[in-house]
Every structure is written in C-alpha cells, then in structure tokens.
Amino acid sequence: MLTHINESGRAKMVDVGEKGETLRIATARGRITMLPETFERIMNGGVKKGDVLAVAQVAGIMGAKRTSDLVPMCHPIFLTGVDMTFTPDEAHSVIEIEAVAKTIGRTGVEMEALSAVTTAALTIYDMVKAMDRTMVIEDIRLVQKSGGKSGDFVLAEE
C-alpha cells in the first residue's frame, strides 16, 4: 500500500503524529567522475572559485536542511547532525561523497542524506563546469538507515 496516496488516489503527506520519537540515522553515498586535469585542480586548490570541497561540504549540509522545501511529501524535520565526507580516488578521477544525517524524531532522514550527497555533487559540478562539462554524477543511493518502525537497512553491496 502506498502511504503517500489518500482514498481518492491523490497525494498526501503521511501523518506521523502517532509515531514515537526515536534516534534515526541515514547514510547515503554517490560520486562525481571528471577529467584527470579537473580532479588535480580540485585537489591542489587550483580552482578560481575557491576550495571546491569546502564549499561542497557546506552545500551538502544546507541541502539536507532544505530537503522538505524540495521534495513535496517530506516532513520538515529537526536535524541533530549532518556530516559530509569526501574520498578522492586519483586513479579514476572520482570523488566519492558520503553524507550521514541524524535526528531524534518521528520520521526518517533518508531523504536528507540523499539530498546532501546530491547537493554536494551539484556544487562540485557547478564550481568546475567551466573547465570540464564531461563530469558525471552517479550512483547516488541510500546505503544504511536505522531507527523507526521499519527497522534497520543496509544495502547489500556495501
């Protein structure tokens, strides 16, 4: 049964008022692939717009905080923490992006973690698009979540 559909078949926001508050944590990952020259400039501080990963870090956190403004059926939630990690892979000119979002609440933070990764990747793209329009943002996925009625989830590939 779809929880975001009412009896008339129209979209609705799920009522979480009866749910108990629990600690909820979600981890999402994704990556951005680029030309080796672009990767080198990001890693060595050679981008005129500034420190790409520092800006992407802040953008990812802001993206998590604004999720309910972007995804219509998401509840505005109080995030207790968002942490971003960037793992450069020089051999493949890839930056792996991870976001961990946390709350104590009645609904999960999966969408917030996914929004954080997506926003960080888009920020990297935006900051270096003048030198590389071949970048690919890919493999954005939920890899783990805990808390709530549905229990824990860990993506099998991880």
Locate the domains of the chain by residue range: 22-147
Q: What percent of the chain has pLDDT over 70?
A: 98
Q: Given this model, what pLDDT does residue 149 score?
A: 82
Q: Given this model, what pLDDT does residue 10 score?
A: 83
Q: Rounded to an integer, what distance in angstroms lies between the CA atom of residue 29 and that of residue 144? A: 10
Q: Given this model, what pLDDT does residue 158 score?
A: 60
Residue matched to tokens 């870090």: 57
What is residue 91's DSSP assignment? Answer: G
Q: Which of 15, 69, 89, 126 is catalytic?
A: 126
Q: What is the mean pLDDT of residues 103-116?
A: 95
Element (H, E) at 154: strand 153-154
Nearest to 55 by CA among 120, 135, 133, 129: 120
Task: Look at residue 25 and tell me whether its pLDDT is greater than 90.
Answer: yes
How wide is the angle at C-alpha 123 spanned by C-alphas 95 and 45, nearest 5°?
60
How wide is the angle at C-alpha 97 spanned by C-alphas 27 and 148, nearest 5°?
10
The pLDDT-based confidence of 2 (bands split at 50, 70, 90) is low
Q: Given this model, what pLDDT does residue 7 score?
A: 79
The pLDDT-based confidence of 1 (bands split at 50, 70, 90) is low
Q: Given this model, what pLDDT does residue 19 score?
A: 79
Q: What is the mean pLDDT of residues 85-106?
A: 97
Nearest to 22 by CA among 158, 152, 111: 152
Enumerate the H helices of the chain as residue ranges: 36-43, 52-65, 67-70, 110-128
Q: What is the mean pLDDT of residues 66-85?
A: 95
The CA-based dihedral angle spanning residues 115, 136, 31, 109, taken in that order and rounded to the nearest 10 degrees? 10
Look up 69 and say whether it is catalytic: no
Which class is domain 22-147? Answer: alpha beta
Q: Given this model, what pLDDT does residue 134 score?
A: 97
Using DSSP's 3-state secondary structure scheme, residue 126 falls into helix
Token pair for 67? 């999720």
Q: Which residues pair with 28 in a beta bridge?
A: 99, 142
